[in-house]
Amino acid sequence: MAKGEDLDGRPIKPITICMIGAGGFIGSHLCEKLMKETPHTVLALDVYDEDKISALDGYDDKIKHLLEPYTVEWKGRLQFHRINIKDGDSRFEELIKKADLTINLAATCTPAPAERNTRTRDTIYSNFMDAVPIVKCCSENKKRLIHFSTSDVYGETIGSYLPKDDPLREDTSFSVLKEDMSPCILGSIGNIRWAYACAQQLTERLIYAAFAGPENSLEYTIVRPFNWIGPRMDFIPGIDGSSNGVPRVLAYHLIREEPLKLVDGGESRRTFIYIDDAIEAILLMIENPERANGHIFNVGNPNNEVTVRQLAEMMAEVYAKVSGGEAIENPTVDVSSKEIYGKGYEDSHKGIPDTTIINRQLGWNPTTSLWDLLESTLTYQHRTYAEAVRNEQIEENKQ
Ligand code: NAD
């Protein structure tokens, strides 16, 4: 594929993209890629405010570096609009109408389960109700939509229902998740951890059934991310995020030289993908609509599968390397899910993304190893936070 051409050798025409939730982790990387490597224009929309901490949930502003006046290179191609889509502020509809493509990244998804448990209703509103007007507006105005869902929609794997000592539990055919074949198995209503997955699943079903049927012709692509990791995915409470927030990864404890907390033994298995690999997949979707429309894509790295315990141990090792310090002697400490998340927590024990469809449609494969993605991410975390966290510890010791 030559530069400036799509996968079928056709020249790529510059388009305008309305990106909702552009100021978050994924949006910031996607904006950066689009500005640096493509001719496209982005109408970036988020609830960011000037004080760095946004009005909503303490989100940090992650695209400020792209919006500063000195970044003249792409002047005019990146416009920021501060809009909360929750507020009945219909300006977002005007932006969708102006654009060729809408990418919906807005969601209450940080931090992981703790927030979902305590704020179930907000989670359902954010991941379903707030998405409905976006889907409707794209459909009515014949605008293409790339919607970000989640790997959580798969819920529990079939394997997890087998007895704990059943050897078949480890059989990968019970835990490989296929977009067009795997069932979505969610726990009981009382297990409110599944509200997020359920809300996102309903949004997917709405896109598929109500708007993408034969009589409507919404051009859509649904993305199911599997644990994307990279710089800017996190914040440190009280340093660059709200002081009552809980960050997504545990770099905070590593920087403080404290052991990482392992929920229920850290036996769950997960795959992790580097943000740059994942953003490459999204760019292929943006620039190859005919190949991406009408598909749901898993975007994850099946080769980077570890237990959460193995991940924590590797993080401690990598962090010692990038910080030039000693590895913590006991890098993990066991805690129960009830202690951390309260009653009603449940987790899927394993889930590997099948990437056959995205590979067939877009020729995409992730390449970054787990060690390399941790090294790059933790180097960023160390450079960004270590000094502030140490100062915080000095203040604590004075008290
Ligand atoms: P993020 O929290 O960093 O970004 C979401 C952005 O949406 C934030 O900047 C937030 O301010 C904005 N937003 C939320 N509500 C809004 C509203 N009402 N109006 C305007 N903006 C609003 O999350 P992310 O990691 O960038 O993820 C983006 C999407 O991908 C989310 O839908 C998330 O559920 C999904 N996802 C991500 C991962 C991952 O590994 N990062 C995994 C599964 C699913």
What average pLDDT does this structure show over 236-257? 66
| More confident: 370 or 346 | 370
Residue owning the nearest CA to atom 12 of ligand 1:
21
Q: Where are the domains of the chain?
A: 16-234+275-303+350-368
Ligand 1 pocket member 47 (CB < 6 A): yes
Q: What is the pLDDT of residues 144-188, one digit of tens each?
A: 999 999 999 999 888 778 888 888 877 878 889 999 999 999 988
pLDDT at 111: 40
- Percent pLDDT > 70 in the chain is 85
- 102: pLDDT strictly greater than 90: yes
* pLDDT given at position 343: 66
Amino acid at 308: V
pLDDT band at 239 (very low <50, low <70, confident <90, very high): low
Q: Ligand 1: which of 30, 46, 152 to mutate, judged by most atoms within 8 Å of the beta carbon?
A: 46
Query: Which ipTM was obtained for this model?
Result: 0.99
**What whole-number distance in Å separates Cα of residue 122 and Cα of residue 130?**
10
Chain CA centroid to CA 99, Å? 23
| Beta-sheet strands, E only, within 62-192 | 78-82, 101-104, 144-148, 176-177
- Domain 16-234+275-303+350-368 of CATH type 3.40.50.2300: no
**Rounded distance between C-alpha atoms, residue 367 and residue 359, angstroms:** 13
User: Mean of the per-residue pLDDT values for the chain?
Assistant: 86
Q: Is the CB of 27 under 6 A from ligand 1?
A: yes
Ranked by mean pLDDT, the top range of 83-87, 145-149, 319-323 is 145-149
196 is catalytic: yes
Q: Average of pLDDT values for 72-88? A: 86
Cα–Cα distance for residue pair 313/298, rounded to 1 Å:
27
Q: Is the pLDDT of residue 210 over 60?
A: yes
Coil, strand, or helix at residue 233?
coil
